[in-house]
Amino acid sequence: MESKKIIAHRGMSTLAPENTMAAFELMPAYNINWLETDIAITQDEKLVIMHDTEISRTTNGIGKISEMTFAQLQQYSAGAWFDEQYCAEKVPTFDQLIDFLNRTQINVNLEIKSVTGKDAKQLTNSMVQQLAVKINRINPACRVVISSFYPDILMQLQKLRPDLEYACLFNPYTLPFWRPIAKLIGTKIIHPDNRHLNQRQVEKMKQAGFEVNVWTVDRIDRANQLFNWGVDGVFTDIGQDFPSHHKQKRHASHFLTTWF
Ligand code: G3P
Ligand code: CA
């Protein structure tokens, strides 16, 4: 039986504040060995872990991450918004994430976020160049997949690091173009949006030899359905609700696999 990936989306993001060390550190307790997280950059070119371009949703600060220094960012709590017990959490650095991966041997999907603001181009270049080097510090025992919604960013990194694994991210509007975009990147890994994804689309991707990891799947029955269609992995905010070990069972009625 091939193993199906349960990928903790921004860490254990319904148990602890998303994209914090606290959310990552909970993963081993739930036997989750894949993490998806988001790479961003500060004004003074420090690689950090943050989903939004603006910090107000996930910290107690305000402003664009690309327009504040790392020192300024560190003044804010990245966990108080979630629960007072996490008020000491800071926005993690990429280096902190690497240390965590190396210690736990957890596999990772690094999503490169877009940079906004007046220095967007220069900061994007810096982010790509730093990633190209820093990724070398990740233990080779950890599988690393780099993804983005922006093919141009992936191609920029690919020029520097053709040896890495890349995945294209699609929303329902871009998904019709999955074949040419994947060809452009030269990848066989696709990360489609769960919304509106149907069996026929998944079967076409699998028949074409693609690894398919679907975001964001927060229902066990939907994950089960996707896996029965042939999907390889699901990004989820509720990793804790999936059993630690997936055992195949058979439903006598319809002979579909029950993964959970
Ligand atoms: O990588 C899958 C998913 O995380 C992409 O969307 O907006 O949650 O980063 P988002
Ligand atoms: Ca993401």
Res 246: pLDDT = 40
Res 249: pLDDT = 46
pTM of the model: 0.94
| 260 three-class SS | coil
Give 93-140 pLDDT, tens digit per residue. 999 999 999 999 999 999 999 999 999 999 999 999 999 999 999 999
Say if ligand 1 is within 6 A of residue 18 CB: no
Give 31-73 pLDDT, tens digit per residue. 999 999 999 999 999 999 999 999 999 999 999 999 999 999 9
Res 243: pLDDT = 76
Pocket test for ligand 1, best of 35, 39, 109, 215 (most atoms within 8 A of CB): 215
Say if ligand 1 is within 6 A of residue 51 CB: yes
Ligand nearest to the backbone CA of 171:
1
Report, as an integer, the average pLDDT of 191-209. 98
E strand or H helix at 122 = helix 120-134
222, exposed or middle or buried, with CB in 10 Å at 0-12, 13-18, 19+? middle
Res 255: pLDDT = 46
Res 3: pLDDT = 82
Residue 248 has pLDDT above 90, yes or no: no
Tell me how far the alpha carbon of residue 9 lies from the centroid of ligand 2, in angstroms.
7
